[in-house]
Structure formats: structure tokens, C-alpha cells
Amino acid sequence: MKRLLGALVVLGALASFVPGALAATSGTSNVTLAASATSQIVILDTDVILTPTSTDYDNDYVQATGASGLRVQVKTNSSGGMVLRVKCADATPRIALADLLIKTGTAAGTGGSTMSSFTAITASDQNLWSTTVAQGPWNVVTTDLKVQNLNSYTDAAGGGTTLYTNVLTYTVVSL
């Protein structure tokens, strides 16, 4: 009997070391993402050159619209949406701000708005396009351009070409 009892004690001790025989415990952890609203912009067209034709000079304006305009991509994860703004804060604009007109033919995002008729650019932000919901994936917004009063911009002495350049600045703001 002593032998049997000793064998049982040894077997019991060995059973406590078998992996499946260990007592199971569990716990939980929380993983929290603190997401912040962010809006992004990618400038697709960094330059556009408007080269007036004789008809443009007769009409006293030249324009670049649709696929010929300036394209930017925008997106946001903000549930309130975003606004795309544009301005010409150029310290020495060569084209008079009153002569440089902008608009977009790109449809507004859900609940948003667009600048749908030509408007003179200013040195402060102007709302060009907006949406009131998150915008993803990327959306392309095109800025249509028009330069009026063409006959006010003279060419170089000797019949050359003079370039008149303004810098436009785009900004996206999460709502």
C-alpha cells in the first residue's frame, strides 16, 4: 500500500507539470485610436501657360477651363468635411488681381458648395470647393482661369514675349 501511495504522489506531482494541466487565467486590454481630423492636398498641375490667340485679343481675354485648368487632389477623414481655398498672396503679382479670374466646374461634395462663376482672385483665402462629409478617396478639383484686359499687358520691346506670372496658394481646412 505504501508503494501504491508513493506512486500516486509521484504521478500527481508529474501531472502538475504537464502543460495542459496548468490553471488557465485571462484578462483584457483596451486598444484606443485617438483619430484626429486631417485634410490633405496634392497639387497635380504646378504651372499653366495661357497663350492668347488673335481671337483672344479681339475678345480681350484668354482662359483655361476644364482639363486645361489647374488640378488639385483633396481628401479628408473629417466627418464635418472640408473646404478648399485659394488665394494669390504673391508679393509682386504680375497679373493684376482684378484681371485674374477663377472658378471651378467641379461639382461640390455632399452638402458643399463651389465657386461656380468667374470671380477676381484676392490676396486672402477664397472658398473654391467644399464638402460637409468625409471625402475619400482622392477627389480632383479643377480651377478654371481667365485673364481679362489682355490689351493692358504689353509684350517685350522688339516684339518678343513677356511672361506675366502670379503664384496661387491652395489650402485645405477640415471642418
For 78-117, what is each residue's pLDDT tens digit? Answer: 999 999 999 999 888 899 999 999 999 999 999 999 999 9
Percent of the residues in the chain that have a pLDDT greater than 90, as a whole number: 75
**Residue 145 resides in a domain:** yes
Q: What 3-state DSSP class applies to 22?
A: coil
* Residue 119, domain member (yes or no): yes
Whether residue 28 is contained in a domain is answered as no
Provide, rounded to the nearest whole percent, the portion of the chain with pLDDT above 70: 86
Q: Which of 31, 34, 63, 67 is nearest to 49 (CA)?
A: 63
pLDDT of 148 strictly over 90: yes
Here the contacts of 152-158 (C-beta below 8 Å, separation 24 or greater) are 152/96, 152/99, 153/95
- Asked, for residue 34, whether it belongs to a domain, the answer is no
pLDDT value at position 155?
81
What are 39's three cell numbers? 485634410
Domain-located, residue 100: yes
Average of per-residue pLDDT across 22-26? 82
Q: Which domain holds residue 109?
A: 39-174
Domain tally for the chain? 1
Assigned domain for 7 exists: no
Q: Give the CATH number, domain containing residue 98.
A: 2.60.40
List, in order, residues 6 or more apart from 149 with CB less than 8 Å away. 60, 61, 96, 99
Would residue 3 count as lying in a domain?
Answer: no
Check: pTM over 0.95? Answer yes or no: no
Q: How far apart are CA 118 and CA 63, in angstroms?
A: 11
Residue 121 domain-assigned (yes or no): yes
Residue 147 and residue 168 in contact, taking contact as beta carbons nearer than 8 Å: no
Give me the pLDDT at residue 162, please.
Answer: 87
- Where do the DSSP E strands lie in 38-155? 39-43, 61-64, 70-76, 82-87, 100-103, 119-120, 126-131, 135-148
Average pLDDT of the residues of the chain: 89
CB-CB neighbours of 100 under 10 Å: 21
